[in-house]
Amino acid sequence: MTEALAADDAGLARAAELLRAGGLVGFPTETVYGLGADATDEAAVAAIFAAKQRPRFNPLICHYADAAAAFDAVQATPLAERLAAAFWPGPLTLVLPRREGCPVALLAGAGLATLAVRVPAHPLAARLLRAVGRPLAAPSANRSGRISPTTAAHVAASLGGRIAAILDGGACAVGVESSVVDLSGEQPVLLRPGGVSRAAIEAVTGALGSPEAGARHSPGLLASHYAPLLPLRLNAREIGPEEALLAFGSPLAGAGVVFNLSPRGDPTEAAARLFAGLHWLDAEAQRRGLRALAAMPVPSRGLGEAINDRLRRAAWRQPGTTSASSDG
């Protein structure tokens, strides 16, 4: 069911073909094996979370063939340019604000206004990115909570039968994940230690802040950027006259403004439409003078659990506060 692809021209061409069609492909990077999907395809990105059985939508790293392509998607700073020149291609991930019109799926960034980008050094990853011609969103290619895979056999053991293919590039050289540096605030912050040492990064950036320095830097944080401005009511079983409806399955009777996450009741489809749906519904409800959003219950099977986690946090947010939570 999961195709085993060799590290040759035919294997690369097949991997690229599957990815361009929205499939999931395990591929080697110099850090660990990534579970890749077309980062511009919301449904493909949702399929990553489904395959990994992640209980939460944490933001994924987007992989690019070169720095120019990465900096088309995010707003580079002079410091970002210097880090890229020093460490790309290589095991360093930079978190930067998304550019206006950035084509990467909102779900890949978990709805945040920032995006994590990296240019991997593994020659096979570089060739695959060029062949696909699109960025690849790729977390480690293991089920949630399992150790990160450094061989194709690890990927097959964890995800075999659940993904389209695995491109076998042998064992990963680095074996630990990339270092993640957040450059979106005033001071650069090391969010995750990894393949490039803190000392090497600080030789370029000066002293790095720690994640605790600012709660908004925490990985997995639900940023206010994507929480709706209008209050959100959960588990709605009827709809009020001043409410807009976030529907799942058959919409409740009587709703005027509706965004249906998945008319057919499919949690993976709903995940793919969640962030865009919240943005649209929030804006449309305000435009029509409505006062609140009401979300129909989403069953917790499959990605329903992660959807409910995000909806709960969006609903709990008080003005001027954020709630943080991280997930591995």
**Pick from 7, 76, 83, 95: which binds ligand AMP (CB under 6 A)?**
95
**Pick from 220, 231, 240, 265: which binds ligand AMP (CB under 6 A)?**
220
60 interface partner picked from ligand AMP, Mg ion, none, CB below 5 to 8 A per type: ligand AMP
Query: Which three-class secondary structure state does DSSP give residue 220?
Result: coil
- The size of the interface with ligand AMP (CB under 6 A), counted in residues, is 19
Q: Where are the alpha helices (DSSP H) in 249-303?
A: 267-287
Q: Which of residues 100-139 bind ligand AMP (CB under 6 A)?
A: 109, 112, 114-116, 139
**Pick from 51, 61, 222, 239: which binds ligand AMP (CB under 6 A)?**
61
User: In terms of CB distance, is 220 or 297 closer to ligand AMP?
Assistant: 220
**Pick from 58, 114, 140, 179: which binds Mg ion (CB under 5 A)?**
140
Query: Which three-class secondary structure state does DSSP give residue 144?
Result: coil
Q: Does 140 bind ligand AMP (CB under 6 A)?
A: yes
Between CA 317 and CA 107 the distance in angstroms is: 19
| Of 64-72, 91-99, 135-143, 191-199: span binding Mg ion (CB under 5 A) | 135-143
58 interface partner picked from ligand AMP, Mg ion, none, CB below 5 to 8 A per type: ligand AMP
**Pick from 36, 195, 209, 219: which binds ligand AMP (CB under 6 A)?**
219
Between CA 83 and CA 90 the distance in angstroms is: 11
User: In terms of CB distance, is 128 or 191 closer to ligand AMP?
Assistant: 191
Q: Which of residues 64-83 bind ligand AMP (CB under 6 A)?
A: none
How large is the C-alpha radius of gyration of the chain?
20
**Pick from 192, 198, 225, 233: which binds ligand AMP (CB under 6 A)?**
192
Nearest residue by C-beta to ligand AMP? 219
Please say whether the beta carbons of 268 and 43 come within 8 A: yes
Q: Which of residues 146-185 bind ligand AMP (CB under 6 A)?
A: 177, 180, 182
CB of 115 to ligand AMP, least distance (A): 6
Note the residue count of the chain. Answer: 328
* Nearest of 115, 97, 131 to residue 11 by alpha carbon: 131
Query: Which three-class secondary structure state does DSSP give residue 191?
Result: strand
Q: Position 100: which residue type?
A: E
CB of 179 to ligand AMP, least distance (A): 10
Between CA 264 and CA 37 the distance in angstroms is: 23
**Pick from 7, 80, 191, 208: which binds ligand AMP (CB under 6 A)?**
191
Q: Does 60 bind ligand AMP (CB under 6 A)?
A: yes
* Nearest of 31, 3, 2, 7 to residue 168 by alpha carbon: 7
Please say whether the beta carbons of 293 and 230 come within 8 A: yes
| Of 56-64, 241-249, 273-281, 315-323: span binding ligand AMP (CB under 6 A) | 56-64
Between CA 103 and CA 178 the distance in angstroms is: 23
Beta strand 136-137 with 92-97: parallel, antiparallel or unpaired? Answer: unpaired
Interacting residues of 46 by C-beta distance below 8 A, sequence separation 6+: 107, 268, 269, 271, 272, 303
Query: Which three-class secondary structure state does DSSP give residue 247?
Result: strand
Q: Which positions touch ligand AMP (CB under 6 A)?
A: 58-61, 95, 109, 112, 114-116, 139-140, 177, 180, 182, 191-192, 219-220
Q: Which positions touch Mg ion (CB under 5 A)?
A: 140
